Amino acid sequence: MSENKIYGINGPVVTIQGETDLSMLETVFVGNSRLIGEVIGLKKDLTTIQVYEETTGLTVGEPIYSTGAPMQVTLGPGLLGNIFDGIQRPLPAIEKQFGAFIGRGAQFFALDTEKKYDVTLCVKVGDRVSGGDVYATCPETSAITHKVMIPPDKSGTITEVRENGQYTVNDTVAVLKTDAGEELGLTLVQHWAIRTPRPIKNRLPATKPLITGQRVIDTVFPIAKGGAAAIPGGFGTGKTMTQHQLAKWCDADIIIYVGCGERGNEMTQVLQEFSELVDPRTGKPLLERTVLIANTSNMPVAAREASIYTGITLAEYYRDMGYHTALMADSTSRWAEALREISGRLEEMPADEGFPAYLPSRLSEFYERSGYVENLNGTDGSVTLIGAVSPQGSDFSEPVTQNTKRFTRCFWALDKSLAYARHYPAINWNLSYSEYIGDLSNWYRDSVSPDFMKYRDELCALLSEENSLMEIVKLIGADVLPDDQKLIIEIARVIRVGFLQQNAFHADDTFVPLEKQFKMMHVILHLYHRSKEVIARQIPISKLLATGLFDKLIKMKYDVPNNNLDILDADLQEIDTVMDGILR
């Protein structure tokens, strides 16, 4: 143990004077309470440490203990269904010992060390193994099989293997003689530094969409598996609600939800809802394939900064097993505010709005850990990042939103006026975009329909045209527009209310399969093309509106069950019958 002593305390920042044997980004225990901290600055005569717990009560002269290891997480069976704080301390275990508040210096092993798992060994004596190879499996939950892998930085020959059976996470199930000649007992756990990306074999092109069942996302602004998206929006626009919906319905195998600096009552709601939600894929509780990381706004600010890295490391670990993981970060603005606060304590030169000059590089480090990859063991896996951004006053020109746009290819801009009009999801189709369209177009053509992208482009063109026409309407009113332009406004209303707007509480509308999304587009555009024929014959639009077809299509999202899409084919025939009757 080192004889380092506290020299100065400034909020979560503690300093040591003089030379030390500490290294950069090393984990340390601070003070007699052994608070967890991390070395973030090394000068010849001054070492700076950020403390991940409340420093109230610390005094100058208290000891600081070295660990010799960086800030790292424990990886193994038992992560799924668990709730951690920002530095991977299990909150249920802490609650049992300390009650409602986390005790200072609380030290807990991240996983349950007493629970036994049914372990099946996948190697035999004499096998040559390297980083990423699976040497044991066990059912972590009824939905997910946990694959225990050789640490990425180890390789060698298996010299001993135990029988299949029940083991705890710390039991040795095999012995590896490494290439360096050391004997390494293999348990069900490994440790990994949170700021170091886990290695991969190859990056693969992102050519498959993350299916969410939300029409405005899947059809209009899709995200690829292994992609990165930002959801910016002011207070009350539905960022958390949208992320809940994505977590519940997206076709990722594993969900990592990071509540980073959010209000405590909002995080409580997340915990309650996730524990009650039934996974639509398995019929079991959604928590069985979910990890929750709760770091609320009243928790120590430094741990908020670490929580993002803890979450992404867990996501990469399950990706290495061959699973598709989705990480929801809510919200990266609070994480950036933690960076700003610590930067101020360190007396660094501020950049835009007081944020540190290295904000863009930290954001890029985070978002670039997403990707669709070939793992070291030859399997495919992906990490999809969806980060909420909370710009003050819905100002998308502020630094966090602008820098996030640089590193994400999908931008779902939430609109306050849409949210207040109860239009859910409140994604503004004029401000949002997805750069994955070109990468995913072949998948949509092959897996859904050759016409999917053509219909999607026409839908977007009509919404864009309506936006231009509404500028004229605001100035001189809708009455002066010719009927063909009035038709665009009417069909855009059907698209907005009947297609883009969705009801999260309706059994058929909360999740919509891609086939239904395509057929809904087809019906709406068929009505538009037939209506254009009628108007070209100088028949007034009032006669079209009197048929009730426009209002009927707005309600088709409720009237057509997801398992009976033949009703949409009947709607196409009805449109033709009505239009032919008008044209006679």
Q: Collapse the DSSP code of 353 into the 3-class scheme (helix H, G, I; strand E, B; otherwise coil) and give the result.
A: helix
> In this structure, what token pair is assigned to residue 121?
């060994």
Which has more pLDDT, 295 or 364?
364
| Cα four-point dihedral sign 244, 245, 246, 252 | positive
Q: pLDDT digit string (tens) for 219-254?
A: 999 999 999 999 999 888 988 889 888 988 999 999
Please tell me the distance from the alpha carbon of residue 367 to that of residue 365, in angstroms, as a whole number: 6
Q: pLDDT digit string (tens) for 94-134?
A: 888 877 677 777 788 899 999 999 999 999 999 999 999 99
Q: What percent of the chain has pLDDT over 90?
A: 73
Read off the pLDDT band of 280 (50, 70, 90).
Answer: confident
For residue 2, the model assigns a pLDDT of 45
Q: Parallel, antiparallel, or unpaired for β 324-330 and 254-260? A: parallel
pLDDT at 431 over 90: yes
Rounded to an integer, the average pLDDT of 208-223 is: 96
Q: Parallel, antiparallel, or unpaired for β 290-295 and 83-84? A: parallel
Q: Does residue 296 contact residue 264 with C-beta atoms inside 8 Å? A: yes
pLDDT at 263 over 90: no
DSSP 253: S
- Residue 285: CB atoms within 10 Å: 18
What residues form DSSP beta bridges with 204? 372
What are residue 250's phi and psi, to 5 degrees? -65, 155
- Give the end-to-end CA distance of the chain in Å, rounded to a whole number: 94
For residue 1, the model assigns a pLDDT of 37
Q: Collapse the DSSP code of 209 into the 3-class scheme (helix H, G, I; strand E, B; otherwise coil) and give the result.
A: strand
For residue 368, the model assigns a pLDDT of 95
Read off the pLDDT band of 267 (50, 70, 90).
Answer: confident
Please tell me the distance from the alpha carbon of residue 387 to that of residue 374, in angstroms, as a whole number: 24
CA contacts within 13 A on the Cβ side of 64: 31
pLDDT at 490 over 70: yes
Domains and CATH numbers, the chain: 4-70 (2.40.30.20), 202-434 (3.40.50.300), 452-583 (1.10.1140.10)
Q: Does residue 176 contact residue 186 with C-beta atoms inside 8 Å? A: yes
What are residue 230's phi and psi, to 5 degrees? -115, 140
Average pLDDT, the chain: 91
Residue 343: asked if its preceding bond is cis (omega within 30°), the reply is no
For residue 70, the model assigns a pLDDT of 93
Rounded to an integer, the average pLDDT of 408-430 is: 94
Lowest mean pLDDT among 23-32, 46-55, 93-102, 357-366: 93-102
For residue 91, the model assigns a pLDDT of 85
Which has more pLDDT, 280 or 108?
108
